[in-house]
Chain A
Amino acid sequence: MGLQGVITGRVWRLGDHVNTDLLHPPSYFSLDASKVEEGLREGMRRLGADLRGEYTAEGLVIVAGENLGCGSSRESSVRALRIGRVKAVVASSFARIFYRSLANLGIPPLECRGVHDWVKDGDLIRISIKDGLIELDNARRFPISPLDRHIEEILACGGLVPYLRRTLDEI
């Protein structure tokens, strides 16, 4: 996902301190993509997501409160989001491993305070990383904290594996 374009999707709203065990229950740990995806559906059910199928088909943008993704480092939770067509993750703050894993798998982790109080599941959201802005359907706008240049580089490559492939010769 490039950093130049506009990301549009439907909001999946999460609260504060949503941990990775809740987002993706540990019993769904797997190397099999379909079981990982099943775990995400179970996580959505446990978290009370109110999303219709056609919304998830358009692509989702998580909008969460504080400390999103605390707990286990199991990357299956972030892989599940990639499989589940989550295009970007917005939160008031992130737990550190989850933040890094999102960037590493090419999903922009975006810090934004304020937008969380103004959205509900299924709302349309537009994000321009280049302009540092989030826009809702009612034209309300919220600024995103600027990404660190290192995270930007990783995201511009599409994740840490392509970043590593590009830089392998320099090392």
Chain B
Amino acid sequence: MTRGFTGQIIQAHAEGRKEGEYLSVRVDFVLLPDPTLALLLTDLRELRGNIWNREKVLVTVDHFAPPSTVERANVVKRVLSFVKEEGISHCSLYRGICHQLLVEGPWVRPGMVVLGADSHTTTAGALGCLATGLGSTDILYTLITGRTWLRSPEAFRVNLKGKLPAYVMGKDIALELLRRGGESGFLYQALEFYDLEGMIPMDDRLALCNMVVEGGAKNGLFCPDDITRRYIEARDGHPGQWEGTFDGDPQYRGAMDVDLSSLNPQVALPHSPSLVVDVEEARGEVIQQVFIGSCTGGRLRDLEVAARIFSGRKVAPGLRLLIIPASLKIYQTALENGYIQAILEAGGVILNPSCGPCGGIDKGVLGAEERCLSTSNRNYRGRMGDPSSMVYLASPLTAAATALRGEITDPREVL
């Protein structure tokens, strides 16, 4: 068995029913963002009407937050009346992006099976759980039964070695993996990360697990360590019970090393997250908009490093800088710490915690042939606006440096 911790988690949740290669597996928690939840409500009502456990779901209104069209207002209305009728305890209205809220609350711990109606549910794997995204109909099945059907993926071990330089972030590690593997390099695999130096901050781990799906992976999982323990303890007031979950000797199909100390800041060129180059090769590309936000790049550390770069400086004339804190909690802490003030003084616009323009939905979408450097996860053609617009993906550090110059800039030049 070369299925890593992921395989152990699946086995621990399997209930003995098997069909083909698929096991029936108990689910611990389900994430339900507004648009994809709305898609399943008609079928849910027709089938049974009630969900299996109203304490084990988190509903978020984050994509249409607040709604900007009448149609979306009606989607949100439907979602909110579902929450009320069902008596769902955990519902977050306009308080942040689902993937950040999921890890901020006291719900997800190592060893769990976590599903979400959104492909970036892989983010939560940073806490050592099996977290993956599914389509609405699959999620409907889980809402009614409390189970899902899973195949056990082959697991690959990723050794993160060496010291993370001050100019490199989790986002750069993700882009480096995508450069190596391409858009389908990890198709249907579990990627399990070992932070050998024990130095990668949780926010960077979340960004890395967020983007494993861009390489086709089913999930990304950080093997729980002291950083995981400290994160959960600070969040819940106690470390929780999870030590016995892992047997300590997982088997892998293969392994790869990433030497963090030799990594350069990375940029994904239009229109693929795996079309990755060192920042040097994209340097000088003229940019009209910089977006720092999304479930990949809008966390506290992201705002902190951006604020440090902006401190006492101004963004390039004519450049539009959009910032979206990934949650209300992050927003408040960034305010208290002075990050928001530094960003505002530099000329940035702060939007409310939400998905924003990342999926081409909300304020900040791009016009024809415009170029945006974004800390988000996808730069597919037309995803963020006009089909002829172009999106470059990079870390919040590279994004902030780029905003100062109005062209793609190596953060080492401004640090």
A contact residues vs B (CB 8 Å cutoff): 17, 19, 21-22, 25-27, 29-32, 46, 66-67, 70-76, 78-79, 93, 95-98, 100-101, 104-105, 148-153, 159-161, 164-165, 168, 171
Q: With A17-B184, A75-B137, A96-B188 as given contacts, are A27 and B71 in contact (CB-CB < 8 Å)?
A: no
> Does B288 reach chain A (CB closer than 8 Å)?
no
Q: How far is the CB of B84 from chain A (nearest CB, A)?
A: 19
Interface size bucket, B side? 35 or more
- The residues in B between 3 and 61 inclusive whose CB is less than 8 angstroms from any CB of A are 19-22, 35-36, 38-39, 43, 47-48
Which of these, A26, A79, A161, contacts B361 with CB under 8 Å?
Answer: A26
- Considering the chains assembled together, what is the distance between the CA atoms of A30 and B380 in angstroms? 20
B contact residues vs A (CB 8 Å cutoff): 19-22, 35-36, 38-39, 43, 47-48, 71, 75, 117-119, 133-138, 140-141, 144-145, 147, 149, 183-184, 187-188, 214, 216, 218, 272, 359-361, 378, 380-383, 387
8 A-B pairs besides A21-B359, A26-B383, A67-B183 with CB distance below 8 A are A19-B378, A26-B361, A32-B71, A72-B359, A73-B134, A152-B20, A159-B137, A164-B140
Residues of chain B within 8 A (CB-CB) of A25 are 360, 382, 387
Q: How far is the CB of B218 from chain A (nearest CB, A)?
A: 6
Residues of chain A within 8 A (CB-CB) of B36 are 73-75
- Considering the chains assembled together, what is the distance between the CA atoms of A98 and B216 in angstroms? 11
Closest B-chain residue to A171, C-beta based? B145
Closest B-chain residue to A45, C-beta based? B387
A164 B141 Cβ-Cβ under 8 A = yes
A26 B381 Cβ-Cβ under 8 A = no
A31 B359 Cβ-Cβ under 8 A = no
Q: How far is the CB of B358 from chain A (nearest CB, A)?
A: 9
Residues of chain A within 8 A (CB-CB) of B138 are 100-101, 104, 160
- Considering the chains assembled together, what is the distance between the CA atoms of A71 and B272 in angstroms? 11
Residues of chain B within 8 A (CB-CB) of A73 are 36, 117-119, 133-136
Residues of chain A within 8 A (CB-CB) of B22 are 148, 150
Q: How far is the CB of B49 from chain A (nearest CB, A)?
A: 12
B137 A105 Cβ-Cβ under 8 A = yes
Residues of chain B within 8 A (CB-CB) of A161 are 43, 47, 137, 140
Residues of chain A within 8 A (CB-CB) of B71 are 30-32
Closest A-chain residue to B75, C-beta based? A31
Q: How far is the CB of A23 from chain B (nearest CB, A)?
A: 10
B216 A70 Cβ-Cβ under 8 A = yes
15 contacts between A and B (CB under 8 A): A21-B378, A26-B359, A26-B360, A27-B360, A46-B381, A70-B183, A73-B136, A96-B188, A149-B19, A150-B19, A150-B20, A160-B137, A160-B138, A168-B144, A171-B145
The listed residue with most A CB atoms (<10 A of its CB), out of B144, B183, B188, B272, is B183
B137 A27 Cβ-Cβ under 8 A = no
- Considering the chains assembled together, what is the distance between the CA atoms of A130 and B214 in angstroms? 34
Closest B-chain residue to A35, C-beta based? B71
The listed residue with most A CB atoms (<10 A of its CB), out of B117, B137, B144, is B137
B183 A17 Cβ-Cβ under 8 A = yes
Residues of chain A within 8 A (CB-CB) of B140 are 160-161, 164
Closest A-chain residue to B189, C-beta based? A96
- Considering the chains assembled together, what is the distance between the CA atoms of A94 and B196 in angstroms? 33
Closest 10 CB pairs of A and B: A149-B20, A101-B135, A67-B184, A148-B20, A150-B19, A150-B22, A104-B137, A150-B20, A75-B135, A73-B119
Q: How far is the CB of B250 from chain A (nearest CB, A)?
A: 21
- Considering the chains assembled together, what is the distance between the CA atoms of A168 and B183 in angstroms? 37
Q: How far is the CB of B45 from chain A (nearest CB, A)?
A: 12
A74 B35 Cβ-Cβ under 8 A = yes
Residues of chain A within 8 A (CB-CB) of B75 are 31
Q: How far is the CB of A20 from chain B (nearest CB, A)?
A: 9
A96 B187 Cβ-Cβ under 8 A = yes
Which of these, A21, A32, A75, A171, contacts B136 with CB under 8 Å?
Answer: A75
B35 A22 Cβ-Cβ under 8 A = no
Q: With A46-B381, A164-B141 as given contacts, are A78 and B135 in contact (CB-CB < 8 Å)?
A: yes
Residues of chain B within 8 A (CB-CB) of A22 are 380-382
- Considering the chains assembled together, what is the distance between the CA atoms of A168 and B75 in angstroms? 28
Closest A-chain residue to B147, C-beta based? A171
- Considering the chains assembled together, what is the distance between the CA atoms of A49 and B184 in angstroms? 24
Closest A-chain residue to B151, C-beta based? A148
B382 A97 Cβ-Cβ under 8 A = no
B380 A71 Cβ-Cβ under 8 A = yes
- Considering the chains assembled together, what is the distance between the CA atoms of A79 and B188 in angstroms? 23
A67 B216 Cβ-Cβ under 8 A = yes
Residues of chain A within 8 A (CB-CB) of B118 are 72-73
- Considering the chains assembled together, what is the distance between the CA atoms of A78 and B144 in angstroms? 22
Residues of chain A within 8 A (CB-CB) of B381 are 21-22, 46
Q: With A21-B383, A75-B36, A148-B21 as given contacts, are A104 and B188 in contact (CB-CB < 8 Å)?
A: no
A168 B48 Cβ-Cβ under 8 A = yes
Which of these, B39, B141, B183, B216, contacts A31 with CB under 8 Å?
Answer: B39
Closest A-chain residue to B119, C-beta based? A73
Closest B-chain residue to A72, C-beta based? B119
Q: With A73-B133, A97-B134, A151-B20 as given contacts, are A29 and B35 in contact (CB-CB < 8 Å)?
A: yes
Which of these, B48, B147, B149, B387, contacts A150 with CB under 8 Å?
Answer: B149
- Considering the chains assembled together, what is the distance between the CA atoms of A21 and B71 in angstroms? 20
Closest B-chain residue to A106, C-beta based? B137
